[in-house]
């Protein structure tokens, strides 16, 4: 096997590795964006749940107590 052939093989492998690295960087960026969107959605849903809980608690406070439970 000639030295030039080995160098060409190494160069080819390096190019493929660099290409794969770039692909992985792009995928990582996409996943980071998706994660951020999921976090924002989670936070919004959490806020809606908290608001609904407060409203429900307020409505429950307005309900009259059953006759047997009144003190």
pLDDT at 31: 98
Examine the pLDDT at 41 and tell me if it is beyond 70.
yes
CA distances from 20 to 15, 34, 54 (A): 9, 21, 51
Output the CA angle 55-59-61, nearest 5 degrees. 115
Q: What is the dihedral of CA 34, 39, 42, 47, to 10 degrees?
A: -140
Q: Once rounded to an integer, what is the mean pLDDT over residues 33-54?
A: 98
Which H or E element spans position 39? helix 3-62
For tokens 């093989």, the residue is: 9
Q: Is residue 22 predicted with pLDDT exceeding 70? A: yes
């Amino acid at each position: 096997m000639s030295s030039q052939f080995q160098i060409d093989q190494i160069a080819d492998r390096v190019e493929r590795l660099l290409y794969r690295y770039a692909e992985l960087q792009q995928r990582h960026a996409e996943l980071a964006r998706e994660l951020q969107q999921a976090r924002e959605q989670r936070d919004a849903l959490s806020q809606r749940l908290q608001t609904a809980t407060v409203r429900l608690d307020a409505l429950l406070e307005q309900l009259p107590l059953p006759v047997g439970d009144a003190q």
